[in-house]
């Protein structure tokens, strides 16, 4: 479990959103960012509102406007 990964597999990471995406990114840099996010985690919990989000979300991950409020995890 991770506070930025929903139980349906959607990852909330600013690099993956339109705000953080850059044409300079490649597969290696994206994988390194995800690996860094996973290894730096000390909280064994789902994101706040996970149940409601998973139950009600019908958007594709790229169409979701996440609010990035906690970059410390």
Q: Which domains does the chain show, CATH number per domain?
A: 1-73 (3.10.110.10)
CA 61 to chain CA centroid, nearest Å: 10
> Of 12, 13, 16, 37, which is the active-site residue?
12
Residue 69: which pLDDT band, with cuts at 50, 70 and 90? low
Length of the chain: 73
Matching residue, tokens 């995406």: 21
Cβ atoms within 10 Å, residue 22: 7
Taking the C-alpha atoms of residue 29 and residue 46, their distance in angstroms, rounded to an integer, is 25
Over residues 13-67, the pLDDT tens digits come to 888 877 777 888 899 999 999 999 999 899 999 998 999 999 998 888 778 877 7
Can 31 be counted among the known catalytic residues? Answer: no
Is residue 45 within 8 A of residue 7, CB to CB? The reply is no
Q: What is the pLDDT, as a whole number, of residue 60?
A: 83
* Phi and psi torsions of 48, nearest 5°: -60, 135
């Amino acid at each position: 479990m991770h506070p930025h990964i929903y139980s349906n597999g959607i990852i909330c990471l600013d690099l993956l959103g339109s705000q953080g995406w850059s044409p300079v990114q490649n597969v290696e840099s994206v994988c390194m960012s995800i690996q860094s996010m996973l290894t730096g985690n000390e909280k064994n919990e789902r994101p706040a509102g996970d149940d409601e989000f998973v139950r009600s979300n019908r958007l594709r991950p790229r169409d979701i406007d996440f609010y990035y409020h906690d970059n410390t995890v």
